[in-house]
């Protein structure tokens, strides 16, 4: 559009007044009609985030100068006021429920600090996600779903982290090694369904864009990590499982309408990483005192070709999406 306007100005030798009028008609620099609404939502969400983080940081500081009863009552009061305020003030519902979700995490953390329950850290995040799910579903907000994805993702990562402490052979009893990738896939599918069936569309854009993007980013990062770890620890079946899940994520991004190009690009990048990891495994795994110059050169050619092909195809998809 900018190029077209400049061509018209030069071709017809428009005067400054007519040029200004042409820019006004194009509405290229006009503020968005929903700018005020988005600004209000953004500032409200930022306020809720800052207040909630303040509560959590206060919990982490262990408030040495206050009594235990005061600490409990304060966090519970923040949680109660946030939930009641969300019911009474619809315009501030997202910000207040964001504060309530963070306050709930602070309350659970303080309970764990106070009573030393012996629970694993992932159990805190599991309880946090389960208890906060009620108002996250009711609010139908992309912001709250994104926060919920981060909470669930942290819980999955903490739960499955112990599998990387053992580099031995895989056993069917070590169920976390194949269950953890499936949990990430389940999270992506849940958010994909929620964004399509629960979250309202805005201005024709994708439903739940940020929650879906966050779930995909976390899941693809996990699948790359799991896949490469399993590849170089000679657990081929688990490598194939993670590669298949990354391929499924790419297919999901491709068939989604409107197509999320950023998610598609992330999926292809994850597949590139896994594929190049496999190539490196095949080229350099035999060991021995040999000259690897040829193998390194071949690996560089394969990497350049892979990245070039996927990058070109992604760019074509982006242009196609813009023209629709």
**What is the per-residue pLDDT across 133-144, written as a single tens digit (0 to 9) for each?**
888 888 888 888
Tell me the CA distances in angstroms from 14 to 17, 19, 27, one per residue in order: 8, 6, 18
CB proximity list for 156: less than 8 A, separation 6 or greater: 122, 180, 183, 184, 187, 222
pLDDT of 317: 86
Closest CA to 282 of 223, 226, 236, 225: 236
Q: Is residue 169 over pLDDT 50? A: no
pLDDT of 291: 65
CA distance linking residue 63 with residue 73, whole number of Å: 13
Q: What is the mean pLDDT of residues 11-24?
A: 68
Closest CA to 25 of 42, 4, 11: 4
In SS3 terms, the chain reads as CHHHHHHHHHHHCCCHHHHHHHHHHHCCCCCCCCHHHHHHHHHHHHHHHHHHHHHHHHHHCCCCCCCHHHHHHHHHHHHHHHHHHHHHCHHHHHHHHHHHHHHHHHHHHHHHHHHCCCCCHHHHHHHHHHHHHHHHHHHCCHHHHHHHHHHHHHHHHHHHHHHHHCCCCCCCCCCHHHHHHHHHHHHHHHHHHHHHHCCCCCCCCCCCHHHHHHHHHHHHHHHHHHHHHHHHCCCHHHHHHHHHHHHHHHHHHHHCCCCCHHHHHHHHHHHHHHHHHHHHHHHHCCCCCCCCHHHHHHHHHHHHHHHHHHHHHHHHHHHHHHHC
pLDDT of 167: 43
Residue 100 structure tokens: 């309530």
Residue 96 binned pLDDT confidence (cut-offs 50, 70, 90): confident
Instruction: Report residue 62: phi and psi, to 5°.
Output: 65, 10
pLDDT of 173: 47
Q: Please calculate the CA angle 284-285-290 and round it to the nearest 5 degrees.
A: 55
> How far, rounded to the nearest angstrom, does the alpha carbon of residue 10 sit from its chain's CA centroid?
46
Residue 223 binned pLDDT confidence (cut-offs 50, 70, 90): very high
Please, what is the angle between helix 261-284 and helix 209-232, to 10°?
0
pLDDT, the chain, mean: 79
CA distance linking residue 78 with residue 110, whole number of Å: 14
pLDDT of 70: 77
Reported pTM: 0.78
Q: Is residue 185 over pLDDT 90? A: yes
Residue 185 structure tokens: 């896939």
């Amino acid at each position: 559009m900018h190029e077209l306007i400049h061509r018209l100005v030069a071709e017809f030798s428009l005067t400054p007044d007519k040029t200004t009028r042409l820019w006004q008609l194009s509405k290229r620099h006009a503020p968005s009609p929903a700018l005020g609404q988005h600004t209000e939502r953004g500032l409200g969400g930022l306020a809720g985030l800052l207040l909630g983080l303040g509560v959590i940081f206060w919990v982490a500081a262990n408030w040495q100068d206050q009594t235990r009863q005061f600490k409990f009552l304060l966090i519970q009061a923040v949680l109660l006021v946030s939930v009641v305020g969300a019911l009474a003030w619809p315009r501030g519902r997202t910000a207040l429920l964001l504060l309530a979700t963070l306050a709930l995490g602070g309350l659970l953390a303080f309970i764990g600090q106070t009573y030393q329950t012996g629970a694993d850290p992932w159990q805190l995040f599991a309880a946090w996600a389960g208890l906060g799910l009620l108002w996250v579903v009711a609010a139908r907000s992309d912001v709250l779903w994104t926060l919920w994805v981060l909470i669930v993702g942290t819980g999955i990562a903490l739960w499955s982290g112990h599998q990387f402490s053992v580099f031995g052979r895989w056993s069917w009893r070590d169920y976390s090694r194949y269950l953890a990738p499936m949990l990430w896939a389940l999270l992506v599918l849940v958010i994909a369904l929620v964004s399509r069936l629960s979250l309202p569309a805005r201005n024709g854009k994708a439903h739940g864009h940020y929650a879906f993007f966050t779930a995909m980013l976390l899941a693809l990062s996990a699948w790359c990590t799991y896949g490469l770890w399993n590849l170089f620890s000679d657990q081929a079946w688990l490598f194939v499982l993670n590669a298949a899940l990354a391929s499924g994520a790419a297919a999901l991004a491709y068939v989604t309408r409107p197509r999320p190009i950023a998610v598609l690009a992330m999926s292809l990048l994850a597949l590139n990483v896994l594929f190049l990891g496999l190539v490196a495994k095949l080229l350099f795994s035999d060991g021995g005192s040999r000259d690897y110059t040829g193998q390194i050169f071949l690996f560089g050619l394969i990497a350049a070709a892979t990245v070039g092909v996927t990058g070109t195809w992604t760019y074509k998809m982006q242009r196609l999406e813009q023209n629709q």
